Amino acid sequence: MPTAFITGITGQDGAYLSQLLLGKGYRVVGLLRRSASADMVGERLRWLGIIDDVELLDGNMTDLSSLIRLIADTRPDEVYNLAAQSFVAASWHQPILTGNVTGIGATHMLEAVRIAHAGARFYQASSSEMFGKIQATLQNEATPFYPRSPYAVAKLYAHWMTVNYRESFGMHASSGILFNHESPLRGIEFVTRKITDGVARIKLGLASELKLGNLAATRDWGHARDYVQAMWLMLQQASPDDYVVATGRTTSIAEFCRIAFSHAGLNWQDHVVTDAAFMRPAEVDVLQGDPTKARQVLGWSSQTSLEDMAAEMVEADIARHRVRMA
């Protein structure tokens, strides 16, 4: 039975990746950062019905000693570093925390693997936000980076450290440059989930309007359940490498609103208002990935349409609110 060690296991990607790996017969061990809200920590794993099938061990991305101990104790075959302060808007308010967790934390993880169990294969969750002010219409592995937020800068540091450890120490370390990926498990602070939750509230009479920021920004949105498949495939390759993981389709926030509201039989223009409070200090206007390499080398492609994903998210949020109203 192979062992996988996942940081960020209680997040959206960590939960779906755990589900995937358990289905493949893995022992799944996750890093658990203790907090005052520990009773809520495993909600995504509970949603998928796998909370009792994973092992959650105490540690922290800012504490190298805890990571070395955990890697030495579990001796995983594969390490997936998904942990981050991942909300872009918050990174302007907490740039040092974001750098410490998202950037330096990844280096801690690489160093822990190098010291305690160098034979483990390593996956780094890189981000399309690193492209920022885009230098090419379609972004692929050769497109220059131009980060536009503290989060993106931290992710870029982690990305290049992964490349550096691969080249310096011969580690099997790969990065997935994942474009936006969503699901019913997405955090409520992210715009897609904010929209689908807003649709649910309005549909059920709990609200009448939804405040959003830049409706013209466009993103390449896929389903997290599909994207964790690409993570696993990267670590099955004979040689490590970096891959863009995307759908190749870009959609505006306004269009996502139309799709989500339409699923509930609503006109988005009757309910959505723009609020300057939600505008970013430096906007990333367009992101659209070119997943050709992932398709050709990994045999991977996105399987869930944007429309089906939005419908799934709306239905899940309606169900959540109906339970709370009961």
Which residues are designated catalytic? Answer: 127, 129, 151
Any idea what the Cα angle at residue 152 is, between residues 148 and 155, rounded to 5°? Answer: 160
For residue 311, the one-letter residue type is A
Structure token digits, residue 204: 């059920």
74: part of which helix (H) or strand (E)? helix 64-74
For residue 279, the one-letter residue type is M
Distance CA 214, CA 168 (A): 42
Distance CA 282, CA 280 (A): 5
Structure token digits, residue 304: 């869930």
Contacts of 150 (CB under 8 A, 6+ apart): 91, 92, 94, 95, 98, 99
Structure token digits, residue 61: 């991305």
Picking from 173, 185, 252, the residue whose alpha carbon sits closest to that of residue 225 is: 185
